[in-house]
Amino acid sequence: MIWELASGPLDFAVRAHVMGILNATPDSFYDGGRYLGVEAAVASGLQMLEDGADIIDVGGESSRPPMYGEVVDVDVEEECRRVVPVIEQLRRRTSAPISIDTVKADVARRALDAGADIINDISALEDEQMAHVAAAAGVPVILMHRRGTPSTMQLNTHYEDLLGEVYAFLARRVARAREMGIDAIAVDPGLGFGKSIEGNLGLLRNLNRFTKLNCPLLLGASRKSFIWKTLGLTVEDSLEGSLALAVLGRAAGAHLLRVHDVEATCRALSMTDAVLSAELGGRGDKKC
């Protein structure tokens, strides 16, 4: 539960860690286009660190489902054009951990060369070369469950045993990663990726099951559609729902929270960890 990074250790046994989402894309479902341009993206990343983020997760290709608009495939060169300069500039200005959110081994390799410390692969090493890149660099990898691709993943959200199938998939991918020489691995059940609203809620209700994989557990629920649809709101009004899931996720054993709203989430998690680590002294009746 400790990752040794160039910037220092990340100890997941101590507290929850917050991963700030930095989408250098024009079409991400919540903040697409907001951080286009290296200067704007770097400023946003530095602000997230100021607000309490432990890791900045830089992505250059949207994984949004078709409900948000046309799904556009991005080639390696375009994805690198979006993310590599951002990572280079962030690395010059901070020693904080940076992850690269990509499913392409060539993008991951160039991002690591630019200064990234972690690979966040939502395809869980679908690109066979990704494991070689991670093992050669000795960097942690985050493996996520999804079914299909962003353009197809919501066409069929039926499972005979959703919890069992997601767990088994992640167990297989963790074993494969270890066989390939990757030691530091986190798992992500992939909320919103090929799951129904009820399926997402069910996975959250049973999130603690995934701690049995003996890897840090990442929860990525921030502002996803199943939140605001459940509440009858819009994505812009989904902050409170996202914070509720961050708190519930941490209480269920999540070690990493991937979020858009860093400052608010950090405050909610600090309170959560204070409660989780509290012990009653004496009879527990000391006055405030």
161 pLDDT higher than 90:
yes
| Choice among 224, 250, 267, 283 that is catalytic | 224
Active site (annotated) includes residue 104: no
* Alpha helices (runs of H) in the chain, residue ranges in sequence order: 38-50, 76-93, 105-114, 128-137, 162-179, 197-205, 225-231, 239-251, 262-276
pLDDT, tens digit, 9 for 90 and up, residues 41-100: 999 999 999 999 999 999 999 876 645 455 567 899 999 999 999 999 999 999 999 999
pLDDT, tens digit, 9 for 90 and up, residues 177-208: 999 999 999 999 999 999 999 999 999 999 99
CA 123 to chain centre: 12
**pLDDT number for residue 82:** 93
**pLDDT number for residue 63:** 73
Joined together, the tokens standing for residue 87 give 């990572």
Active site (annotated) includes residue 258: yes
Q: How far apart are CA 144 and CA 187, in angstroms?
A: 6
| Choice among 109, 110, 195, 258 that is catalytic | 258
**pLDDT number for residue 30:** 43
Full set of structural domains in the chain with CATH:
16-275 (3.20.20.20)
If DSSP codes are grouped into helix, strand and coil, which group holds residue 255? Answer: coil
Q: How far apart are CA 151 and CA 266, in angstroms?
A: 32
Q: What percent of the chain has pLDDT over 70?
A: 89
Closest by Cα among 143, 277, 112 to 215: 143
Mean pLDDT for the stretch of residues 111-134: 97
**pLDDT number for residue 68:** 46
pTM: 0.91
